[in-house]
Amino acid sequence: MAEQVYFEDVAEGMELPAEVREPTTRQLVQYAGASGDFYEIHYDKDFAQSTGLSGVIIHGALKNAMLGSFVTRWAGPEGILRRLTCQYRGMDYPDEAITAKGLVSRVYQEGEQNLVDCTIWLENPEGQQTTPGTATVALPSRND
Amino acid sequence: MSTRAFTLTDAMRQQAIGVESEPVYLDIEKGHVARFAEAIGDDNPAYTDGTAWAGGIVAPPTFLRAIREVRPVVPFEVPFTRLLDGGSDWEYFEPVRVGDTISAIGRIENMVERTGSIGQMLISTVKITYRNQSGNAVATQTSTSIRY
């Protein structure tokens, strides 16, 4: 079980522990099946190249899911995801290392909730942010 | 590069904004949630083990993407055939649980015309509201798509 992060332990500027993933074409096929997104640019190399791409590319929605996993893992079992945004700025390819990174941008209370805003992104092997985004999570307090 | 003439007039824009899709429904099934969690590489027990999470198994945050074809019909001819997904903005209100039936309705929030490196583009913003069988909104997803 993942450790729990508490509201009191979080400060603006803090880094979320980076995660490296290397999706395979097999994972893209799994994602196509599980999500129902069967657009051929994600598993048929000839088709992908016929559209001008260098090869198959990772589903934007899978990158969105990876960012969701990254931030919910950090928020722990008692953390609640309130908002998740991302923009697809660049293509990502299978069998390349993709790193999820994040920074705490704001720590605040709203009503009864202890909220934390994060800037999150996926980075390709060249260090470019292909998929920037944000997340808001509600965290438990040590005083609860 | 596209040379097709297309002009999004203010009247067309106003006609499109507010158009809603038909509802699309999905029953949230245990095996489907487990398969989705495996596909995204997330081993969080909340997605597979009902005892790990109060109230039973929940779905991962972007699982609702599995509800396909939630597409409001654009009320005019669009001469572009290629489509790019620009990104998503999710807001979450209640967990989605195995056993729920979720409905999805998309609404056109905005449309703008732009010219960029890929030529002329029509950028649409669609907000999908997902509700459970009790009628409560569980999440909204605002997506940007680019036709060119």
Q: Residue A85 domain-assigned?
A: yes
As a whole number, the mean pLDDT across chain A is 96
Total beta-carbon pairs less than 8 A apart between chain A and chain B:
94
What's A17's domain CATH number? 3.10.129.10
Provide the edge-to-edge strand list for the sheet that holds A98-110. A15-21, A98-110, A113-123, A129-138, A80-87, B83-92, B137-147, B119-131, B101-116, B24-27
Residue A29: left if φ>0, alpha if ψ -120 to 50, beta else—which one?
A: alpha
Report whether pLDDT(A20) > 70. yes
Picking from B40, B46, B91, the nearest residue to A31 by CB comes out as B40
Q: How confident is the model at residue A2 (pLDDT cuts 50, 70, 90)?
A: low
Q: Measured between CB atoms, does B40 come within 8 Å of chain A?
A: yes
Minimum CA–CA partner of A60 in chain B: B85
> Where do the domains of chain B lie, and which CATH numbers do they carry?
10-28+69-147 (3.10.129.10)
Q: Is residue A143 included in any domain, yes or no?
A: no
Confidence of residue B54 (pLDDT cuts 50, 70, 90): low
What pLDDT shows up at residue B3?
53
Q: Is the ipTM of this complex over 0.90?
A: yes
Number of domains composing chain A = 1
Q: What is the pLDDT of residues A58-117, one digit of tens each?
A: 999 999 999 999 999 999 999 999 999 999 999 999 999 999 999 999 999 999 999 999
State pLDDT tens for residues B85-133.
Answer: 899 999 999 999 999 999 999 999 999 999 988 789 999 999 999 999 9
Residue B122 main-chain phi, psi, to 5 deg: -115, 115
- Pairwise CB contact (< 8 Å): A34 & B41: no
**Residues across chain B:** 148
Let me know if residue A1 belongs to a domain.
no
Residue A51 in any domain: the answer is yes
The answer to whether B90 contacts A85, with C-beta atoms less than 8 Å apart, is yes
Flag whether A130 is in a domain: yes
Is residue A79 in a domain? yes
A81, A98, A113, best to mutate vs chain B, most B CBs in 10 Å: A81
Domain span at A71 = 10-138
Where b means 16+ CB within 10 Å and e means fewer, A15-24 reads: ebeebebebe
